[in-house]
């Protein structure tokens, strides 16, 4: 028996793909929580915990390679690439919101720390932009909105970690501000697969779109 149609799709706008208005936004691809060699990975290994195994394998096998493909394509298009980083200005993270302080301090995620750095493979190059946030969503604590509008961007393709936290929060913030947001499913990851999948399912109900890196490259190429 076929599942009933989800009524919410009747209220969704048709996407308008325009490469000239698109930017790639890469969320929190840093050593602190985005690499098994980083603070989180080292802590879990020392504890003998396997809870991060899926997360780091997903980053290594899917998130990082697909994000690299997307970045290369945006460079070919001459469109902006924006790195969003998470981290405090102070080692004790006292400049961050209360609910973020222990996470940031425990992961040595503050400006100047090696764990705060973006992964070497994605190290920003000339012409790319970097904004630092202390909140889960980027719009709450950075100037990313004014940056995107200055660059005449109205369509955002998003990659990075964690799917159900910083990626989703930033994506929802962007959608509420009028941007057309596309989550690139195979360029995003989190600690548990079920959290990743339910985020993707829920986001595309009304907030925006979900696609693969290959599909994103193809549709942008056609509209360029």
pLDDT tens column, 115-160: 999 999 999 999 999 999 999 999 999 999 999 999 999 999 999 9
CA dihedral 27, 181, 80, 137 (to 10 degrees): -30
Residue pair 172/166 in contact (Cβ under 8 Å)? The answer is: no
Q: What pLDDT was estimated at residue 66?
A: 98
Collapsed DSSP state (helix, strand, coil) of residue 214 = helix
> What is the rounded average pLDDT of the residues 203-221?
96
pLDDT band at 93 (very low <50, low <70, confident <90, very high): very high
For the stretch 180-193, pLDDT in tens is: 999 999 999 999 99
Show the domains of the chain with their CATH numbers.
19-223 (3.40.50.850)
Residue 129 CA to its chain's centroid (Å): 14
Predicted local distance difference test score (pLDDT) of residue 3: 74
Q: Are 147 and 82 in contact (CB under 8 A)?
A: yes
Radius of gyration of the chain (CA): 17
Q: Two tokens at 196?
A: 């990743």
pLDDT at 2 over 80: no
| pTM across the whole model | 0.96
SS3 157: strand
Reported as a single tens digit per residue, the pLDDT across 35-66 is 999 999 999 999 999 999 999 999 999 999 99
What confidence category does residue 1 fall into, taking pLDDT thresholds of 50, 70 and 90? low
User: What is the reported pLDDT for 89?
Assistant: 98
Structural contact between residues 61 and 213, judged by C-beta atoms closer than 8 angstroms: no
Q: How far is residue 162's CA from residue 169's CA, in Å, rounded to a whole number?
A: 10
Question: Beta strand pairing status for 22-27 and 81-86?
Answer: parallel
Phi, psi of 212 (to 5 degrees): -95, 165
Backbone angles phi, psi at 200, to 5 degrees: -60, -45
| Contacts of 179 by beta carbon, 8 Å cutoff, 6+ apart | 148, 153, 154, 155, 156
pLDDT in tens, 8-19: 888 888 899 999
Which residues, in sequence order, are bridge partners of residue 180? 155
User: What strand order describes the sheet that includes 81-86?
Assistant: 129-133, 81-86, 22-27, 155-161, 180-189, 209-211
Percentage of the residues of the chain whose pLDDT score is greater than 70: 100
Q: Nearest-CA neighbor of 40 among 185, 191, 196, 199? A: 191
């Amino acid at each position: 028996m076929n599942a009933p149609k989800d009524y919410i799709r009747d209220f969704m706008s048709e996407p308008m793909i325009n490469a000239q208005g698109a930017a790639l936004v890469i969320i929190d691809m840093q050593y602190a929580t985005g690499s098994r060699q980083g603070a989180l990975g080292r802590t879990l290994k020392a504890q003998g915990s396997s809870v991060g195994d899926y997360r780091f394998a997903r980053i290594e096998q899917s998130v990082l390679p697909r994000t690299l493909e997307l970045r290369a394509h945006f460079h070919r298009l001459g469109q902006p690439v924006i790195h969003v980083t998470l981290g405090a200005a102070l080692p004790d993270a006292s400049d961050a919101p209360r609910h973020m302080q222990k996470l940031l301090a425990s992961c040595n995620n503050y400006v100047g720390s090696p764990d705060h750095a973006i992964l070497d493979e994605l190290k920003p190059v000339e012409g790319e932009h970097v904004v630092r946030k202390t909140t889960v969503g980027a719009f709450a604590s950075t100037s990313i909105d004014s940056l995107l509008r200055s660059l005449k961007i109205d369509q955002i393709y998003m990659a990075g970690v964690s799917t159900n936290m910083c990626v989703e929060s930033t994506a929802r913030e962007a959608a509420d501000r009028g941007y057309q947001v596309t989550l690139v499913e195979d360029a995003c990851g989190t600690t548990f697969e079920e959290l990743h999948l339910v985020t993707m399912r829920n986001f595309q109900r009304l907030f925006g779109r979900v696609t693969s890196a290959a599909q994103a490259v193809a549709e942008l190429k056609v509209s360029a």
